[in-house]
């Protein structure tokens, strides 16, 4: 049983894999399995060693410390580091790296359906920075991010991809995407009307499941071009990409 307790430490190997590549639910199942294995081994040790409780307790504590306590702790630390890499620190929205990480699954072969991308760029934001300073500009970004988070379509992803630009991905058809983009535009306009007078130009791209342009980079490029056309029209408007 001493040899068995030593071998039980090998449970760390699959546990390490689950820590990095899987979520907390799978790791919790692994931890429960490890705990049951350790308790069974401890019971067998007591039964075959004439009641050597101290040996059984040492096996339980040593093995459980590694397989049940250490691995979830490592998983939490890994989660914190990953969130730090994927989240914009100012607005707490996903950043561009976070967008790539989470939306990539939307383009898989088992994920059919219509996808829309909305590129949201703030109008007259540079004037706010030049007039009131970057601290005031940061507050505008925080307020806009909060409004986008509160008003976003159900099941959508909201990200800040850089500067005063935000991106919203949602599973909406053409008409619904334009309606939602215009609703977000009005929400930003209403939120900033009394303070910065910042508005938003929004470019929208809608891709069907069979389209050859169904990839992240193509959708962002198309939405970005539509957003610049909205800027050329005077801003505070929504333009649907061709």
Catalytically annotated residues: 164
SS in 3 state form for 212-233? Answer: CCCCHHHHHHHHHHHHHHHHHC
Written as six digits, the tokens of 34 are: 């490890």
Can you tell me the distance from the alpha carbon of 227 to that of 210, in angstroms, rounded to the nearest whole number?
A: 24
Q: Choose among 140, 142, 99, 133: nearest CA to 119.
A: 99
Written as six digits, the tokens of 80 are: 């914190």
Can you tell me the distance from the alpha carbon of 212 to that of 161, in angstroms, rounded to the nearest whole number?
A: 24
- What's the Cα-to-Cα distance from 75 to each of 83, 84, 176, rounded to whole Å? 12, 14, 39
DSSP classification of residue 163: T
């Amino acid at each position: 049983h001493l040899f068995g307790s030593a071998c039980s430490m090998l449970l760390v190997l699959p546990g390490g894999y689950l820590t990095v590549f899987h979520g907390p639910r799978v790791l919790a199942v692994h931890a429960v399995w490890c705990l049951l294995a350790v308790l069974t081994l401890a019971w067998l040790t007591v039964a075959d060693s004439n009641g050597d409780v101290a040996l059984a307790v040492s096996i339980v504590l040593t093995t459980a410390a590694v397989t049940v306590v250490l691995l979830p702790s490592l998983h939490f630390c890994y989660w914190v580091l990953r969130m730090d890499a994927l989240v914009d620190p100012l607005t707490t929205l996903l950043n561009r790296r976070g967008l790539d990480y989470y939306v990539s699954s939307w383009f898989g072969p088992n994920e059919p359906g219509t996808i829309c991308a909305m590129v949201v760029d703030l109008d007259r934001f540079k004037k706010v920075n030049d007039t009131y300073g970057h601290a005031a500009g940061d507050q505008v970004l925080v307020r806009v991010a909060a409004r986008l988070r509160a008003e976003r379509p159900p099941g959508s992803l909201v990200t800040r991809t850089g500067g005063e630009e935000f991106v919203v991905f949602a599973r909406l058809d053409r008409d619904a995407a334009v309606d939602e983009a215009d609703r977000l535009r009005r929400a930003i306009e209403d939120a900033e009307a009394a303070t910065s007078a910042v508005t938003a130009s929004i470019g929208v791209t809608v891709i069907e499941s069979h389209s050859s342009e169904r990839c992240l980079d193509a959708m962002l490029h198309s939405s970005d071009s539509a957003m610049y056309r909205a800027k050329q029209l005077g801003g505070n408007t929504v333009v649907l990409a061709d």
